[in-house]
Structure 1
Amino acid sequence: MPNFDLQIYAVLAQIPQGKVTTYGDVAKMAGYPRHARHVGKLLGTLPKDSRLPWFRVVNAKGMISLTGSRFTRQRELLLDDGVEVKENGAISMRRYRWDGEPA
């Protein structure tokens, strides 16, 4: 497994319950600034039974990027996690954004 993957997984594992972060923030925290798209692609390859909180990662606008049933699944997981998500997938980054600091 490439080092990039391991670094991204390590950051993902740290995102606290009830918080979200962006693809770009995950990349930056992992030591790969400007690799947000790579983070998105990697998250898309996680096994369905992965215990990593992939659903706590949203786009730079603070919105869910997925569509269809995947959008619905991510929104439901975030709601269950305690994050308010509007019908269109928008999240208050001011309230819920995780900056990488330990919880």
Structure 2
Amino acid sequence: MDIDKHTVIYTIIASIPKGCVASYGQVAALAGYPNNARLVGRLLKEMPKGSTIPWHRVVNSQGKIAFPEGSNKYQEQRQKLLLEGVSFKNNKVNMRECRWE
């Protein structure tokens, strides 16, 4: 994979403001790689431990957290989002209110 592609995607994720979320597909499109939502997910999975990139601000297109509900990572991501003021309804982020534009 191309290092520049990684850098662009990580830069987009780092730009998502506190209290907002973006979908995997939205991040891919903004980075210039439409239809590469899975690439964004893979890069987030491979992110170095201790990274300050706000990975928790990326959710799926329905506003759902991608981790299995009830898992430690799911709880961690949900808690980080709640602390930033992101609202949930039926375990989905309110994308109308919280989607990064």
Give the TM-score taking structure 1 as reference length: 0.89
CA contact (8 A) 1:75 1:89 kept: no
How many pairs does the alignment contain?
98
Once the two structures are superposed, residues 51-101 of structure 1 have per-residue CA deviations (whole angstroms, 9 ceiling, x without a partner) of 001100000111111121110110011011111134x531110000002xx
Secondary structure of 1:78's counterpart equals helix
Letter of the aligned partner of 1:80 in structure 2?
A: L
Q: For residue 72 of structure 2, what is the aligned residue in structure 1?
A: 69
2-structure distance, mates of 1:28, 1:78 = 22
Q: For residue 97 of structure 1, what is the aligned residue in structure 2?
A: 99
Q: For residue 81 of structure 1, what is the aligned residue in structure 2?
A: 84
2-structure distance, mates of 1:22, 1:33 = 12
Structure 1 stretches of 4+ moved >4 Å:
none
What's the CA shift for 1:45?
A: 1.0
1-structure distance, mates of 2:28, 2:91 = 22
Give the TM-score taking structure 2 as reference length: 0.91
What's the CA shift for 1:49?
A: 1.1
Q: For residue 46 of structure 2, what is the aligned residue in structure 1?
A: 45
1-structure distance, mates of 2:91, 2:9 = 23
Q: For residue 20 of structure 1, what is the aligned residue in structure 2?
A: 21
Q: For residue 3 of structure 1, what is the aligned residue in structure 2?
A: 4
Which ranges in structure 2 are unaligned for 5 or more consecutive residues? none
1-structure distance, mates of 2:23, 2:47 = 17
